[in-house]
A and B are shown apart, each in its own frame.
Chain A
């Protein structure tokens, strides 16, 4: 989550869900929490019972809105305009939390001379390169004004990627400098750089993680953005906040356009509603009170997704709500373990623990070069080498030695963009041979699913490992829009997967909490866990290459792959397991936790498990599979994710394990004032204890436990020593929360309202800059766009979820108990629009976008209201994206209408808003027949060991 990473240092939800119950006001925006996260929604409800205000700002009145005190309808894709308005309100009404902002944020920091805001350049920041549709933060002077040489200033805040590219460019010769921080640059210019430039250009769009895998409802965001900014020395500050180039003044000027009248014009909400939200947030923030913001993919799945979250971060920093109980920003994830899948990533450009994947040609000097590029001289990322060496030791075991650079060279190096959207774009052009899918359904869930199916049709082979024959497994025969099977060459292998109770392992949820689940029963038939499949595949591959002396085979042959367990192992009921070859998951978790290779645990005869990432070393004496998870398995019999101990501490520290280091509230140093005292008794979390000379409190301090609040670093300090005692954001090189983010995100240091790529409306805030100038396009016959402002498609569409189904339906549309609750694809529209188009409630309607058309049943409801944009009536419709052509209930695929574009930071698509047209009647491509017969009883096996008369009631006949 670069939005959160760029603002605070770590790309994950700041607080834990239960903490929402401590809030005084909760703004739910870009999230349909009651429907998509019904279990977590109990915590906002608890807060409401205690008197908190709940606000839902969303295009549709949903079940979430029904439970909130206020619902404010806005036009889809105008979140920044709304939040910018709130920021402007906070600044002009002087409602910001003075002490907090002054010490804990970069409000007083002075920005380089030469930086120009969107106010100066009519919707663009300085440094824009129109030919590449990119910003160059260094040319734009986005960085901090520093004490020191001019060159050092210039390098400040610019991304390393950017630096590496721009330095090689014409007229961009790096000036040699005596500053140690420039050493890497000097070295970089000494080596042959042509290849670097080529690769870097290929990777321009990097940042960059696959978009949501399942129906796009997940966000793959990381803190890489924060990890690559170059810091050095102490930035200049003006604590009176008067300096014209200080962040506070830039902020005031930047948001001055976002007046209530403008918000109303852009978003289509009433000024009164907007002001009520702003007032509630301000009234419920400060020393005594805290407000929280909850978002989900309604914010991320936009070309301005990262900046939506940046806007929320700025607001929460100004109101002093970060690092405090009941405050923070909750990023609701779309998937049980989607946080886990970025921590130990399924992403192509990250290694476990947010260590960036090496890049071809950039590390001629090997590991040390990598560390220089990716590490930071101040803040926590100074430990990069320890984490990387420990990871290499975990991967390659004894083969990784100091003399061979721990075989850093064996790591796969990036030579291109392999994130999902560009990859499928290439697949559709026939450039990819094979693909293995685990728990993913691009044929129904990918943005512009039609293009994804075209990609799958061009493969030679495809392996689908899933519970059911989902769209991605039957696209070759059941796609009503596709060619006949005889024309499809793809060979599809379907592997039945085990379900959750049929395997053990951990989930890492939205609040970074690892929770272990045991296996209850063996999976039926040939179903196997994903882990079994991957482990067995690895073993067979290793066998295939056994004895090879080819250097390219060595990484595979030396890879640690010893998770065999005794078979048959017992199941919880004491019966032996039928499944042979299942890897020992606990052993994998121990490897992730890390071991001290120099010390043998007498109890196990194996190297001792480490207690946390502080114990990791860079000399190769420790191995650790993922440094942020270190400490989750500190003793052979202490599987902390498996712990379920209820204690008197409301944070329940012995329930599971939260990374990092079991901290539940990140940046919790900010829950105390600069002197280390709690801001208020009511909002106490951790504070400085003078007697013990330590930080104490309910949570694990997210700070060096014995660094006193008065500690001030000298200018030559590096590492954690450079972080002062009053700087809570330890992952940031300056220890402060970033109101203004120099260098990253790639689309500007401050959020700007741009229209969606497809919108029927002009940009009222910046008339000369309609859409985000850094958006990446993949235009082609399969992905045409209706560019803003479109007249052909005058209706704004957004996609959404209902509680009854899960993502594109691969788990829910095969179950009749769920299907009967939501049996058909529908479209929500207002009575006004239905009247205009002659659409009858309950009958068919056809929705058309530039990519295609689908049919759906019309659900005409006043929950969708037409918006009044300064006299212009604008209609919106809502489309659930749960249907497809496989399963028991079939229907139009909403994602056949969405487009494939990508935001510059994380390659996130814009499935949450697009332009469309609607008419009554059925489509030219009616949904086909269900691929699974309707079975009223999804499971009807008699309960074992139970007489017939005592079988479940409904077990009729």
Chain B
């Protein structure tokens, strides 16, 4: 009997456990297994195998019963999810429905989730801009949150490491505020984007239009071919899963790579309940899991644990990891865990038209668009708000079908598309300031289907965000006007936070254990064999789409973890 028990524990023991298989969990799995660690990846959702589990990837539009639209009753039943633009008939199977995992909205917060192997890496927008020194120095310079314990120089080699493997397209633009990297050829700009770029460089000092860096393979190098991934065909159907591996996801890249080492064990349907802390050894010894199908509680053991459950669920798991040493959650001596959550502000858009360059049009498609790096408050504070915003920008001139008339006129119109005019769209991507009052916490009474406490989410915009929104509309309008664009229209939305899908923080990195949860290697200050390297670790948000930074931080921390293990330090 005793032997059976020992065998059972042995069978459930690994060198490392990674909670979560999304964009950061996939990287943890890749790095740890490559270094020879027997690694268990816990995923709360079902398995999604690359290609085999992309049921809609090659479907024509008419093969969808509602031509892509989610039926009204389904939308009504999912008010949160229905605000996610990517939720359509072809991607329905990759999104969590509102009633599948409840949470309490102290204030409106649209928490968009993908519970499956690969998580939201299947669904992401794929923009991959590096942070700069000015981003890491931001909180210290401007006096908010806490100082980042790392600087750009420390993360730069890891950006290169993940860019080379994932395959990132981009140009060497030579901008200090948006450092260059290891890039595949950039997405081409079109005539109007080049025109706008020219006007900015001539008339707006410090403002640049560049090809946005994207995780789509504009060319496949031997590195990606070795992963079984080939060049992106610009189908723009990434969110269905790409049968060519044309964009980076855990499913197409890091997870199969980890599997090839023979060191990976993937366990889907495993809801992480808590990290197990051993008071005698003064370290974490494993993870308690609820099998989502059988509701059985199972414990897995490992020497090191990576928590990559996605920002909010990482907070949930750690807050739920209670012991007599840590009554408020693992490593939460300062009671700051769950607090200082921030996000990105996407509230404003500017649209316009362009009468010039009528000799050109756009033809075919590309997997990217263009980007204006942050130009406010970079080198010094110069506006009435803190920080700033980047801008996503694109111009197009496509064919369209006139819809006027009835009868043969209408049919003629529909079957004879005409060339439209140039139109452009710009969207702000603003940094928000982490605040103690923006937090997630465990509800003391209500629990979910797995017996886990429900999360309270209390997160909102503030005055700084509103000022930034107004500035973005003014500045973009001014820039477009100067470049000769007409019919400039601004919109200022009042969407809830969350829908930006860039929630960050709650388990922030910092230098001082009194004011932060993680050290510069993403180890919990108070429990060094637990690493948090997803969005939860973020001290501040900057303006860049965060995934590339999660990847780099994860790869860096995983390599450090292996070194520390070999030295016997964890």
Tell me, yes or no, whether A binds B: no
